[in-house]
Amino acid sequence: MSTLSRALRRWEPIRVAGSALGLALVILLAGYGVGVATAELTLESGAAAVAVLAIGGSGLLYAWRLGAGASID
């Protein structure tokens, strides 16, 4: 159990949360891909896919801003 505790202490919670959200976004986009491959693309589904990409892109831009995750000196 102490080995697990040491490993968990090294992980930063914000990075773990970001990775989990990134994985969820990839799963959502894979679902949209399957939907597009098996059905007709409608305006609503296309708009939803573009919205998910925009939200994910804005999250990446926010994560790469100056001083993300650290203090700015």
- The number of folded domains in the chain is 1
DSSP conformation class of 72: -
pLDDT at position 66 is: 67
pTM, 2 dp: 0.53
Look at residue 47 and tell me if it is in a domain: yes
Look at residue 7 and tell me if it is in a domain: no
Boundaries of domain holding 26:
12-63
Q: Which amino acid is at 5?
A: S
Return averaged pLDDT per consecutive 10 residues of the chain, 73 residues in all: 74 78 85 82 84 83 68 55
Nearest CA among 2, 55, 45 for reference residue 24? 55
Distance between CA atoms of 71 and 73, rounded to whole angstroms? 6
Distance between CA atoms of 32 and 46, rounded to whole angstroms? 9
Distance between CA atoms of 53 and 25, rounded to whole angstroms? 9
Look at residue 57 and tell me if it is in a domain: yes
Give the 3-state secondary structure percentages of the chain, helix then strand then coil, rounded to 5.
75, 0, 25
